[in-house]
Chains A and B, each alone.
Chain A
């Protein structure tokens, strides 16, 4: 058939018309709810006071999902969306355990505070890898006012070779302060890095009664562990059992093997090394 026939032009016009009609389809009604479900129900947020100043806490049905410092509300919302890619809006009541300010003052000690009773179930860790979750849940076990090392976390989660990965996972902790990644320090005793900077990490530790300067001074002198010559058990220096060793019974060690050679066993509470038996 010849393209120049009038019929052909008419046929083309008809075809274009029919093509246009093809566009009159409707998306299934399931599209919108599915999209909204996938981008998440959206979190609520509120500010809370912490040792490093005012931070914003985001939370949803699954628990607290984020803690971020920010200059203002708009900056926080932007940062939250950029990181989590889901809706965020102000308001709502903070989860009960967060109400009324939960950071105790250093003098009161933390054991009777809400901070010491934080349960893993109170966090929304869904977006994280299994490894990251394991690291954060392990950090959550470190008692208030004590510190452990990156190597300790790696060993405790059965990934002794993953010390650096532990550091990265803690650096990406979406819920700092409440999941106390600031309680993990470097093996040589230095305070190490922190998502909000070293000063913030020191402030968070100081608020719990850990003196970062003392910690680093001890490390500089080569002391990694403290033992008791009455029990012949050695601990991390901040372990509550180490802190109650009387000065005349306190024995410093430079390494776990030095302690073992001296006939000491690791503490079963702070586990400076795998306890034998």
Chain B
């Protein structure tokens, strides 16, 4: 079903069409959240929160406004905010006033790196995406993983197209550099042992390449 038809259906009969909205976009929203947060559990909760918020918003919108919506971009936008608010909430949690706050036991397991690494490094590329600096990560995911056009990404992120393009390019370049340092290139001279810590996130999410074992 096309975005336009879906928007029209939502405007006419929100309760009758909402389930279809969820089924149409849940995989897309899940992918965005998964690489944005890095944890399947966080991603699932994020998708749920996104749809609940979307429903609440649609409930209050006049029909004309719903009809004019572009559901996909609109949902990504809500999801981006949900993720941002969750991260903010978590930071607050990590700064206990009395200094005695203990991390929940399973928190270690749910950290982005561990979750995706546990999945058998099945996809080290996915892991690398989750470690991209914030400003590149969302842009790369939306452009290349979700397949949005630059214009659409710019609309979702509320940034100028030029900024989006340069963030996507820089993000992709970082990914390539990381892959080349981590994975032994095939058929290109001598093999090199993969460093154990190919990428490290420093300070405010800055990625540096580190040649370990040297």
Given known pairs A34-B48, A42-B15, A85-B55, the reply for A23 and B145 (CB within 8 Å) is yes
Count, chain A residues at interface, CB 8 A:
31
Are B22 and A22 closer than 8 Å at their CB atoms? Answer: no
Are A31 and B34 closer than 8 Å at their CB atoms? Answer: no
B36 within 8 A of A: no
Cα-based distance from A89 to B17 in the complex (angstroms): 13
Given known pairs A12-B172, A22-B145, the reply for A27 and B44 (CB within 8 Å) is yes
Given known pairs A39-B52, A85-B60, A89-B15, the reply for A23 and B47 (CB within 8 Å) is no
In whole Å, how far is B178's beta carbon from the nearest beta carbon of chain A? 10
Are B60 and A81 closer than 8 Å at their CB atoms? Answer: yes
The tally of CB-CB contacts under 8 A between chains A and B is: 94
Query: A27 touches which one: B26, B60, B125, B145 (CB < 8 A)?
Result: B26
* Chain B 49-83 per-residue mask, 1 if CB under 8 angstroms from chain A, else 0: 00110011001100000000000000000000000
Contact residues of B: prevailing secondary structure: helix
Are B44 and A22 closer than 8 Å at their CB atoms? Answer: no
CB-contacts of B152-183 with A (<8 A):
172, 175-176, 179-180
Given known pairs A20-B145, A23-B145, A39-B52, the reply for A32 and B19 (CB within 8 Å) is yes
Name 16 A/B residue pairs within 8 A (Cβ), A-sorted.
A19-B144, A22-B145, A23-B146, A25-B34, A27-B44, A28-B30, A31-B26, A31-B30, A35-B52, A36-B19, A39-B55, A42-B15, A81-B14, A82-B60, A86-B55, A87-B18
Enumerate chain B interface residues (CB-CB to A < 8 A). 14-15, 18-19, 22-23, 26-31, 34-35, 40, 44, 47-48, 51-52, 55-56, 59-60, 123, 125-126, 129, 140, 144-147, 172, 175-176, 179-180
